[in-house]
Each structure stands twice: as structure tokens, then as C-alpha cells.
Amino acid sequence: MNQKNSSVLFEKAQKFIPGGVNSPVRAFKAVGGNPLFIKSATGAYLYDEDDNQYIELINSWGPMILGHAHPAIANAVREAVEYSLSFGAPTAKEVEIAELITEMMPSVEKVRMVNSGTEATMSAIRVARGFTGRDKFIKIEGCYHGHGDSFLIAAGSGAVTMGNPDSPGVTKGTAKDTLLAPFNDLQAIENLIDANSGQIAALILEPVAGNMGCIAPEKSYLQGLRDLCTKNGIVLIFDEVMTGFRLSKGGAQEVYGITPDMTTLGKIIGGGMPVGAYGGKTEIMDYVSPQGPVYQAGTLSGNPVAMSAGLAVLKTLNENPEIYQNLESKTQKLTKGIRKNFQKLGLNYTINQIGSMFTLFFTDSEITDFETAKKSDLELFGKYFRAMLEQGIYLAPSQFETLFVSDALSENDIEQIISASYKALKEIH
């Protein structure tokens, strides 16, 4: 497959952009080769600068649940642009999307719009600290909450050990207030709470992990967290930037029947535009300025074009709930076909799937947390990625990223992906 123009662009980009990309995973360092430069997309297809077509399973890392260039979203954006790109003042669209979010996700009684998932999670932690008057918070190993300093912390030697900075530029002072525990490990959370009694403001996690690959919570895990947080006055925050409005109209919290105190959102609520949000109980959200003392602001927050795009997506999902059943069916058919490929070839790898999210892990171990996910054969994944790309299938360029299925994926597309997967698996063995 000719990728000459992408290679030329990448060489030029490295002269002016750190690493040649504006987000690290795009550089293909985890899979080898040079990144593709995308020119356009429609439905389930990407087209690069060399006019190659790819069936894709990234969907802009989640937002394109309806597929690329969906007419309802494109029309909403075109209409909004006619009235100007930004006002820096309140608009009717902000009120409309806020009302719809609270209707679709009942745990969110009030919501503040921001510009990214990172802003949303940073702000949620700040508000939780202001609300509780406490400094520390618990995060889960392998859950990604953006690139805020407090979240870039690696695990210590034990569940009660303080975290250490995981990136230059993150101070030890910042790290000391971040406590870590493995995913799906309630005892580790109990240990942290006991060791830091009365000091923990919040516990934040992805209820379904997507940034160590797709990993679902074990039975009673989320309820256990809810009970512990309620008992100890800790604000439970679900980071649903990925899962919000993707797994169901009410996100992962609806699927599992657990009500968090706060929720962070992004991706789908912007329809592909840069948007994030955080919300929760009225008593907590009323601590946000100008209602309360916790300051947070943003010039482009509630941008009218982004609000129009997000509103178009949410309305479509709200008015057509059968989309979720369609997505589940398509994803199950896809993963079932790939598993059959394993059987034909005598392989024993692991696929985790929930709703329209899934990950193929190159290991025969059950994947329940970050440690088990790291048992995957990363070199083999890189070979698989490149083999699939050569056949016109564009996967996430990292073993530790979930794949996302869009409603635009056709039955024929699914068959092509399954067929390509068989050929790729056969080739790399």
C-alpha cells in the first residue's frame, strides 16, 4: 500500500512538531512504521493523503459513534458556523445540551461544560477537594484521566505506598496526594482508606477501563466502591469520557446500576469537536464558581459550534435507542468471528468486549487489571497491527487502547475485518 505522501508529511512534521504528532500514540512508536496522515473520513472509512481507504475501528478514539461525517452532525455544525465560531457568552445551546445530559444521565443533576476530558477530570478532583475539605484522592492503576499532573503517577510497591511521578515535570509534592490501587481490587481500596483515614476527597476510575485495553469491572466491584465511598464520605467519580453515551444512553453507570457522586464526560458529547464536561449532585456542583468558591473557567467552554455538534449526537442517540442494540450485535459478531479465527489457527488469545468496545490481547491470560494486561506480547501486537493495516483495516496503534465500533459499520465491513484478521494472524505465526 503506497504511503509516500504520509511519509513525506511525517518527515516535515518532525521539524516543527515534537515527535511529528500532537498526541503521542499517533506516532506509531508502539507498533513500528510511520503514522498515516488522514485527509478525510466518511461513515466507517478513513482516507489518507495517498488516497488509501481503510475500514477503521478507532472512530477518533470514541466520539464517532454514528460514523464519520454523519449528516445530522455536519448540518448542525454548518448551521452554527453561520452565526460565528465563538461568543464567549452564554447561548441557548448550552442550556439545551445541559438539560439533555441530565435527562439521559440522571446522576448528573448539574453539569459544567469544558474543552477536553483532561479539563473535566482536573476540575472534578478540584471540586471534590473543595467540597470535602480533603487533599488526597485515589486513582486506579491503568485508568487514564488525561494529562493533568495529579493523574500522571506510577504505582508504588504496595497498595498503601504513595505514588511517584510518572513523567518529568510532575513534582513529588503533587504525587504525594495521589494514592493508587489496582483495578478490580476492593481490598486495596480498603487498605488505602484505612491508612489515610479522613484525608481522601475522591476516588476516580473508568467504570469500564479503556486505556489499558477494554476491561470490565468484576461483579460487585463498583457496588463495593460505592459502599466504601458512602461510608467514608469520599466523592465517587466515574470517568465516563469514553463510556458516557457509548455503552448506553446513561453510560456505564446505567449498565451496572451504580450511581456515582460525580461524572466526567467527553468524546461523544462533542460529536468530534473538542468538548468535555463534569457534573454530579447539585450539592457538590454548587461549589463551582460563580455559585460557590471552587474556581474553574474557560474562554471557549460551551463553544456554540461544539455544543451544536454534541447536541445533534445526543438527540440522535436519545431518539433512537435501538442504535445501542445494533452496536452490541455488530461488535459481538465481529469478536465472535475473530475468536473463530483463533480456533481455526489453534491460537489462544483473549478478547474483552462490552457493548461497542473491545480489545484483542495477545496473551492467553484472563485480563482483569493493568498487571495482567501487561502480559500481552507487544511485539506480536505490532506485527498484527501492520498486517491489518496492509489489508486496509485501521486499528488503534497500541495494545493498551480499546477499539470502538460505530453504527456506520456494515455487515460487509465486519466480514472484511474478520477475513483480514484471519490472514493477519496466519501471517504473523
192: cell is 488505602
DSSP assigned state of 36 = P
Active-site residue (options: 136, 267, 330, 383): 267
Q: Are strands 235-239 and 153-154 parallel, antiparallel or unpaired?
A: unpaired
HSE at residue 379, side-chain half, CA atoms within 13 A, is: 1
CA distance to 87, 265, 339, 402, per residue, from 171 (Å) = 37, 27, 45, 30
CA distance to 56, 246, 296, 363, per residue, from 413 (Å) = 10, 20, 44, 26
Give the number of other CB atoms < 10 A from CB of residue 380.
Answer: 16
Cα 270 versus chain centre, distance: 13
HSE at residue 422, side-chain half, CA atoms within 13 A, is: 14
Q: What is the CA radius of gyration of the chain?
A: 21
Cα 232 versus chain centre, distance: 28
- Return all residues near 98 (Cβ < 8 A) that are at least 6 apart: 110, 111, 113
Three-state DSSP at 391 gives: coil
Catalytic site residue 281?
no
CA dist., res. 64 & res. 221, Å (int)? 29
DSSP assigned state of 37 = P
DSSP assigned state of 271 = B
208: cell is 469500564
Q: Are 267 and 218 in contact (CB under 8 A)?
A: no
User: Scanning the structure block, which residue is given the C-alpha cell 474543552?
Assistant: 115
Catalytic site residue 144?
yes
- Return all residues near 332 (Cβ < 8 A) that are at least 6 apart: 353
Active-site residue (options: 144, 221, 256, 349): 144
Three-state DSSP at 393 gives: strand
Q: What is the DSSP code string of 58-91? A: -TTTTT-TT-BT-HHHHHHHHHHHTT-S--SS--
Judge if the upstream peptide bond of residue 290 is cis by omega within 30 degrees of 0: yes
Active-site residue (options: 48, 177, 185, 239): 239
Active site residues: 144, 239, 267
